[in-house]
Amino acid sequence: MRFQLEGLTVYFPYQFIYPEQYQYMLELKHALDAKGHCLLEMPTGTGKTITLLSLITSYQLAHPETGKLIYCTRTVPEMEKVLAELKELMEYRQRYFQDTAGGAPKILALGLSSRKNLCIHPMVSEEGTRESVDARCMKLTAPWVRERAGKEPDHDIETCAFYEGLEGAGPEGRLDAGVYTLHDLRVWGRKHQWCPYFLARRMIAYANVVVYNYQYMLDPKVSQMVSREFERECVVVFDEAHNIDNVCIEALSVNIRSQTLDAATRNIGSLKREIERVKRTDEGRLRQEYQRLVQGLQAQGVLQEDSWAGGDGDAQQWLANPALPEDIVREAVPGNIRRAEHFVAFLQRFVAYLRTRLAVDQVVSDTPTSFLASLQQAVAIEGKTLRFCYDRLASLMKTLEITASDDFHGVHLVADFATLVGTYSRGFAIITEPYDDRLPSVPDPIIQLSCLDASLAVRPVFAKYQTVVITSGTLSPIDLYPRILNFSPVCIASLNMTLTRDCLCPVVLTRGGDQLPVSTKFDMRSDPQVIRNYGRMLVDLAATVPDGVVAFFVSYSYMDQIVSRWNDMGILQELMAHKLVFIETQDVVETTLALDNFRRACDCGRGAVFFSVARGKVAEGIDFDRHYGRCVVMFGVPYQYTLSRILRARLEYLRETFQIKENDYLAFDAVRQAAQCVGRVIRSKADYGLMVLADKRYQRHDKRDKLPAWITQHLKDSHLNLSTDMLLCIARDFMRSMAQPYDRAAVGRSLLSEAAVNALDTAAPSAEAAALTRSIAAVRPGRTSRQVTRASAEFYGPDRVKFLGPFSGNTPSYLKGEYPGDYGWDTAGLSADPETFSRYRELEVIHARWAMLGALGCVTPELLQNSGSASFGEAVWFKAGAQIFQDGGLDYLGNPSLVHAQSIVAVLLSQIVLMGLIEGYRVSGGPAGEVSDPLYPGEAFDPLGLADDPDTFAELKVKELKNGRLAMVSMLGFFIQAIVTGDGPIKNLDDHLASPSTTNFWAALTQRLAAVKPSGRATRQVTRASVEWYGPNRPQFLGPFSGSTPSYLKGEYPGDYGWDTAGLSADPETFARYRELEVIHARWAMLGALGCVTPELLQNQGVANFGEAVWFKAGAQIFQDGGLDYLGNPSLIHAQSIVAVLLTQLTLMGLIEGYRVNGGPAGEDLDSLYPGEAFDPLGLADDPDTFSELKVKELKNGRLAMVSMLGFFVQGIVTRKGPIENLTDHLSSPDSTNFWAIYAPKSAGIGY
Amino acid sequence: MAGRAATLAEGRGMDLDEEDEELRADEEARGQTAFEREYEDDHSWEELEEDEFGNLRAPDQAEEQRARRRRLMSAAASARIRRGMVRYVEVVLDLSRAAALADMRPLRAAVMSGVLQQFVRTFFDENPLSQLGLVILRNGVAERLTELSSSPEAHIAKLRQNLDTGGDASLQNALDLCVDALKSIPPYGHREVLIMLAALSTCDPGDINASIKAAKRQRVRVSVVGLAAEVYVCRRMTEQTGGTYTVATGEGHLQELMLSHAVPPPAAPGTSSVSLVRMGFPCKNPEAPGAAAFCGEACLLRPGGYTCPKCKARVAELPSLCHVCGLSLVASPHLARSYHHLFPVPAFAEVPAAELLGVTGCGGNQPDFAPAFVTGRTYCYGCYTPLGQQAGGAGRSRGAASLAAAGIVSRCPDCRHLYCFECDSYIHEHLHTCPGCECLPPHLATATAAAAAAAAAAAPAVG
């Protein structure tokens, strides 16, 4: 199909596209447009590869300036698969270009692999290992060999005919346009008698798509050779990249054992001999090399001359050799190793020193710095010299014309080690262990130079290429990757799988058949009862599940232990009665054999169980799709071996450098592995499989939440916390229901046809398209998490969220998305004039703020009255004002010690002070500096530090305005309700909730809400809020002078400043009650007061015309002729029908409060006052720290609102004017119209 | 009851009518009092569904009926398909260890044998010309329980005696045994193996794929009805041999799946050449009834019996093979009973409720003779049950009644009569002829018959 995706023509080789694929393309396109990196998670079996290829090649077609697509895979079969899919895509694309003049645009795509996989030389390709093929090849193709063969044809020096053929062809030696798999390359090579390996190496410079292994991009040694010449505009894709951090680390880590040192010593010996020989025969060569070295590294052949054009030369050089920071690239090799003999002697000394380091009897842990210091002390070798080892050795090997590179592995390792140690002072650890921890009796000393920082190897890639795409089926929790790899993606998304039937069945088993918990926790794993429970479960599952079952254990040693115990208990024998048992071992050949037999057992119906290990080869690369894996069991949580010193060092580094907590990282890593294991069984949408997570720890949120969204989506509540017998019931039902024939055509429901996709894009708001967006919306939420930096892209600019989503049509041209809260909607054309627009904008923001300061006062007294905690005469909000003038006055909250409002003077005073102070301050330009927007806190006045991070600040602005808009509508409802029913809102709500016949509809609605809840979760960086606002060190109400706080206020709840002079909270139960009331009141207050000031302000500005704009008269207007037009504009909200208004009001309050009170939103174990896992559309609760900070802020605002609203009423009674009028009067003539001037005559009139 | 006991004690003077009446009253009472119903079998609470608001509701009957109709329709739609009329079916019953599980009450083995007995009866009902044999899988071997024969009672009696379970199941052994037995049957016969499999794995002595290939070579159609889950090897076996593979979700489903195998399956292309099948139509024993003779292979002394027209041997019952000359002996009703598979009743079309509003009577275009209690209403031609809106209106207050009446209404395309769902399925499943069409006045009937004949002529391959 061919369709339009936001203006880009995309060619997709199938008739239908999954909604998640469409979404994936959208995200990818955004990243390409923004020329930034992106991080995308989409489950396997949804066609990730073809989606990637289809979009990026289409993008290349539309934007010729885009560079190559460099597609990195982990294995050769994957590489072949990618190329095969690309081939299909290209063939498909042809048909759309048949009638164009030039035919289809040609592309060249090829895979690149090692010589071992590409060689067609009859002798060389027979070699067993990769190293030996490389060495044999070099023997035939090294320049000096060929030179000599050319000079002395009669000496019969063997060369490679294919290589010579390619060289002989010169510029003719190239590939035609097309897609070449490795096999195709070999075929092409045979046909033309050219070497496919070197042909591929040559052609990647011209290719549009290159597919190769991770190492070619990440390993500095290889990437220097292969990936050096790629341009900056390339798009780099890392597929199946969930382990990318480990690949990066491995690329920069070196282990040295005593065998290595022995080999290195031998190598040095032969180097010496070789030098002697060359000295005798051809001393000129050595001298030449020396000269080169004197001139500096750059001039020699090892490093490329700096021929890069433009300013990005450094970045390119970086990629070429990230082990060499740029400053030393320009340096010359130090004098003491320039001469070959000196260098060899130097190496000898270094090896000797390493040998002394190996002779330890306990574990030694070092940093590179201290290692260098002791090196300097012991053998007087400088760090700077070490840095050049790798290049110096390469140069020497070249000079000596040594081709048997595989023999020199030892000395190469030592040189790698030296270079890395000399280069990096941070991000590495050197750990020397005398023996393996697990086998303490066998001495096996080892020096591990371990890279701790995954970002080191990948940094040059991010720096050099415009767009890097990291994608996999399991990247959860997705927000950790940018931190570990230290980059900032422009787009992060996790997409779900649309399924026509529930073919994924993840379950969490926490207890055995005897109800005792099962776990692989260290203290429980050897418990015979746990082992027996695990065994019984497996036997029962084997009897319930057909064909293949895969069981993953946390480690080899644990598997050995548990299997031998099962054998003793007779469980293994029982298991064998149902299915054959195969075991993965550390031996690759054995494992391959076991896998093969496992498959045969599944094929012939005998059924089999495969015991495997998380993090093993099988868990990483082997699929157990279809009948090979109907069920997968993950025994335990596959934590890394936590006593490993390298891991300890890495955790410490992560904590110090990236502020990643140890436990967070460990849990992340363990759950990532577990997800990887259980994900083995589902490889397509037609597949099905049961996934058993057998450990009580999976029940906990910190583990469960880290699972990918496409798993948690299917993790029903009834599938949690199971015991073995419950598991069997579920398994039996699942297997039966999956065996039923299913309508394959029904897959069509989760597919989009070409017409449907185009309809999506052209935003025709047809019913069909609306249904489609719903299905897309169902895919999208999962955990579409975003970095904070994403906010600016999300709510601002041309790609911001629009009021009708993709159907918003054309937004008015004057709405450019540069201000917060702009959803592109202005049907009434209010903002067409730029000046009016900015005025309105200001008004809206101010209104929204005041609204959020208001409505709590309305509901507080009534609620308290109802709950019996305080007693006022009449608790309804609109009668509270009158109480002030009664005998005894008005006690706020019925408690005279809080706010005793007997004195109207004091009340008015607080009101004027509050409003006057704040507004006056703002209008006069006081708080903000001149540079920044006067509406928002800036450098000068920002007590909460809101403006510190520009992105967070931008997001906060949007949120503020959103809340404010809600508040305006809500407050209006309050007034109308009061007029109609004569009751307060709470009374109405209670009535409403008390009579179930009326609540049914709302209950249904709320449930619906819960069903479609968009659980989008934004992720945020850690702040220190939890330390700041909670606990004993929180800020207290009088700062350092607060004295001792009451013992019952421990700072565990938000907004606790340790102040409770009246002793309201001494009783814990009352305290909890008050706390809840206060929070709810604060929330409602923030939804209110804007309605009070809006109409009046608008009236004053001449924007709109209402009869009387004062807030307390607005309600009456509804009953006048013509009704009440909101903002005087009938097209906005025309409140002529009191029924409609009431409906809105009921919906708003009933819906929200009813939902909350029913315990709907939050999970059971969470605080029911705050958003939790189940209902959190704004993603507030994702980061516990931010969340707790938000709680405090909410309460603060709410408290202010309670006081403020009270003031509004009093002011209304005294002046008979609206607050805005009072304010403008006050501001226009601060002398005459201040509190005292107004108050004096009025108070006399009242007779106070 | 006490009264009844007293009457019994009194002697034999009791009026039979009285006793009958008492029984009928008993039955009526049983029908009316819900708490007396047998709940063990139908698990009606499991059928309740929960909607998205958490309300419970009874399953939509119309939906269920539609699904059943769809099945009937597909049978009717494939009427032009050639079917194997003379079937030779080996039924394999898995009585391995897995059959001793109790996830079906009381035991899988008991449920399976119950369903199998029902299947055997229905099978001979539907395919009187066919033969069936039983094989049991137990302890890793396949035992032959009964040879291929046409006597349901013999199979059932044998089956009842052999219900011990144990050991592994071996599909390969079963397949080899069945294929061996089916190899020798004449080419017009349809060779089938039907396996009722409780086990989830098969313990084979060799490579089952070889046996599957052999079965395919012998044109044996292998079908499997599983009890627990989808087993890959069964899927492949059935796909390769052209059979079906279904898995039961419960007792009821199991029965449904098994019975679906009672209808002759479509003949695989190129299996049998159309050839003349030699059959004998023996006459009833010419001797005086009551004269005893030694009948059949077992030489049982029986009164009567049938005489083979070819060799004059006596056989006890029809249909069967003559134990002497091997001729198929059938009676003409048997042929007639097989006939309907070739000329099924046409599929009835569902009538939407809106269309029913204006109709009175049974929809046919000739005067009807309905009893007084339904005149002026729409009613089913088969059973005189009032149909559609009127019935719903009358029984709206009674929830159950209105639910029952909400069933779908269908119309015969030929005679245009309306039928309720029950009659519809009865006609298609058992009667195999539409009573409305049968009762058409002569001028209409000839028109219909001519149309049918034309249709038959258009499809000469039938048979």
Nearest to B232 among A578, A602, A738 (CB): A602
A-chain residue closest to B233, CA distance? A605
C-alpha–C-alpha distance, residues A613 and A634, integer Å: 9
Instruction: Find out whether B218 and B187 touch, Cβ atoms under 8 Å.
Output: no
C-alpha–C-alpha distance, residues A538 and A1020, integer Å: 41
Tens of pLDDT, residues B105-159: 888 999 999 999 999 999 988 888 888 999 999 999 999 999 988 888 889 999 9
What angle do helix axes A1068-1086 and A834-852 make, rounded to 10 degrees?
Answer: 160
Confidence of residue A114 (pLDDT cuts 50, 70, 90): confident
User: Rounded to whole angstroms, what are the CA distances from A1128 to A184, A1099, A1124?
Assistant: 73, 9, 8
Which residue type sits at B177? L
The mean pLDDT of A1210-1232, rounded to a whole number, is: 57
Token readout for A897 is: 């010690």
**Residues in Cβ contact with A1105 at an 8 Å cutoff, skipping those fewer than 6 apart:** A1099, A1128
Residues comprising chain A, all counted:
1248
Chain B hits for A1007, CB-CB cut-off 8 Å, are: 52-54
Token readout for B241 is: 């041999």
A37 has pLDDT over 90? yes
Three-class SS state of A414: helix
Nearest to B231 among A543, A547, A1003 (CB): A547
Confidence of residue B75 (pLDDT cuts 50, 70, 90): low
Confidence of residue B195 (pLDDT cuts 50, 70, 90): very high
Distance from CA of B140 to the nearest CA of A (A): 12
Nearest to B226 among A543, A739, A1007 (CB): A739
| pLDDT reported for residue A1183 | 59
| pLDDT reported for residue B180 | 93
C-alpha–C-alpha distance, residues A353 and A1209, integer Å: 85
Half-sphere exposure (CA, 13 Å, Cβ side) for A1110?
15
User: Do the chains contact at A736 and B53, CB–CB below 8 Å?
Assistant: no
Distance from CA of B245 to the nearest CA of A (A): 9
Dihedral (Cα; A595, A597, A602, A607), 10-degree rounding:
-100
Chain centroid to Cα A905, Å, comes to 55
The mean pLDDT of A489-506, rounded to a whole number, is: 86
Q: Is B218 exposed, middle or buried (0-12, 13-18, 19+ CB in 10 A)?
A: middle
Which of B71, B175, B201 best probes binding to A when mutated, by most A CB atoms within 10 angstroms? B201
Residues comprising chain B, all counted:
463
What angle do helix axes B108-126 and B152-161 make, rounded to 10 degrees?
Answer: 170
Say which range, A68-72, A100-104, A307-311, A356-360, has the weakest mean pLDDT. A307-311
Distance from CA of A1007 to the nearest CA of B (A): 7
C-alpha–C-alpha distance, residues A30 and B18, integer Å: 88
Q: Which residues of A touch B (CB under 8 A)?
A: 543-547, 577-579, 602-607, 626-627, 630, 732, 735-741, 1003-1004, 1007-1008, 1011
Q: Is the CB of B248 inside 8 Å of chain A's CB atoms?
A: yes
Chain centroid to Cα B31, Å, comes to 26
| pLDDT reported for residue B349 | 83
| pLDDT reported for residue B109 | 92
**Residues in Cβ contact with A14 at an 8 Å cutoff, skipping those fewer than 6 apart:** A1, A50
**Residues in Cβ contact with B280 at an 8 Å cutoff, skipping those fewer than 6 apart:** B308, B309, B310, B322, B327, B328, B329, B330
User: Do the chains contact at B233 and A544, CB–CB below 8 Å?
Assistant: no
The mean pLDDT of A59-74, rounded to a whole number, is: 89
Nearest to B229 among A546, A577, A603 (CB): A546
Q: Which helix (H) or strand (E) holds A621?
A: helix A617-621
| pLDDT reported for residue A210 | 92
Chain A hits for B171, CB-CB cut-off 8 Å, are: 605
User: Do the chains contact at A579 and B201, CB–CB below 8 Å?
Assistant: yes
Distance from CA of A747 to the nearest CA of B (A): 20
Say which range, A848-852, A1127-1131, B6-10, B191-195, has the weakest mean pLDDT. B6-10
B276 has pLDDT over 70? yes
Tens of pLDDT, residues A320-330: 444 444 444 45
Distance from CA of B423 to the nearest CA of A (A): 29
pLDDT top residue among A1237 and A152: A152
The mean pLDDT of A151-155, rounded to a whole number, is: 75
CB A204: neighbour CB atoms within 10 A? 23
Confidence of residue B279 (pLDDT cuts 50, 70, 90): confident
A193 has pLDDT over 60? yes
What one-character-per-residue DSSP string does A84-141 give? HHHHHHHHHHHGGGTTSTT-SPP-EEEEE--HHHH---TTGGG-SSHHHHHHHHHHHH
Half-sphere exposure (CA, 13 Å, Cβ side) for B404?
11
User: Rounded to whole angstroms, what are the CA distances from A954 to A314, A793, A819, B96?
Assistant: 34, 10, 9, 70
Say which range, A1077-1086, B278-287, B314-323, has the weakest mean pLDDT. A1077-1086
User: Do the chains contact at A543 and B98, CB–CB below 8 Å?
Assistant: yes
For A11, phi then psi, to 5°, come to: -100, 125
C-alpha–C-alpha distance, residues A698 and A716, integer Å: 14
A506 has pLDDT over 90? yes
Pairing of strands B221-226, A2-5: unpaired
Dihedral (Cα; A78, A79, A81, A87), 10-degree rounding:
170
Tens of pLDDT, residues A863-883: 555 555 444 444 444 454 444
The mean pLDDT of A129-148, rounded to a whole number, is: 83
pLDDT top residue among B326 and A840: B326
Instruction: Find out whether A786 and A1018 touch, Cβ atoms under 8 Å.
Output: yes
C-alpha–C-alpha distance, residues A1203 and A895, integer Å: 15
Confidence of residue A250 (pLDDT cuts 50, 70, 90): confident
For A1046, phi then psi, to 5°, come to: -60, 145
Instruction: Find out whether A900 and A889 touch, Cβ atoms under 8 Å.
Output: yes
Distance from CA of A629 to the nearest CA of B (A): 11
Which residue type sits at A288? Q
The residue with tokens 């607080």 is A910
A and B: number of Cβ contacts within 8 A = 77
User: Do the chains contact at A579 and B54, CB–CB below 8 Å?
Assistant: no
pLDDT top residue among A1079 and A784: A1079
Which residue type sits at A1180? L
Say which range, A1043-1052, B109-118, B274-283, B437-446, has the weakest mean pLDDT. A1043-1052
Q: Is the CB of B246 inside 8 Å of chain A's CB atoms?
A: yes
Say which range, A38-52, A441-455, A926-940, A973-987, has the weakest mean pLDDT. A926-940
What does R_g of chain B's alpha carbons equal in angstroms? 26
pLDDT top residue among A762 and A474: A474
Q: Is B259 exposed, middle or buried (0-12, 13-18, 19+ CB in 10 A)?
A: middle
A817 has pLDDT over 70? no
Tens of pLDDT, residues B156-178: 999 999 889 999 999 999 999 99
Which of A547, A574, A625, A738 best probes binding to B when mutated, by most B CB atoms within 10 angstroms? A547
Chain A hits for B67, CB-CB cut-off 8 Å, are: none
pLDDT top residue among A146 and A1241: A146
A-chain residue closest to B236, CA distance? A603
Token readout for A550 is: 């895969």
Tens of pLDDT, residues A713-754: 888 888 999 999 999 999 999 999 999 887 665 555 567 777
pTM: 0.64
What angle do helix axes B232-241 and B171-182 make, rounded to 10 degrees?
Answer: 20
C-alpha–C-alpha distance, residues A418 and A384, integer Å: 10
Residue-averaged pLDDT of chain A: 71
| pLDDT reported for residue A29 | 92
Three-class SS state of A804: coil
Instruction: Find out whether B337 and B123 touch, Cβ atoms under 8 Å.
Output: no
Tens of pLDDT, residues A448-462: 899 988 888 888 889
Nearest to B231 among A605, A1004, A1008 (CB): A605
Chain A hits for B233, CB-CB cut-off 8 Å, are: 603-605
- Among residues A50, A125, A113, A42, the alpha carbon closest in space to that of A81 is found at A50
B-chain residue closest to A735, CA distance? B229
Share of chain A above pLDDT 70, in %: 56
Which of B211, B232, B236, B239 best probes binding to A when mutated, by most A CB atoms within 10 angstroms? B232
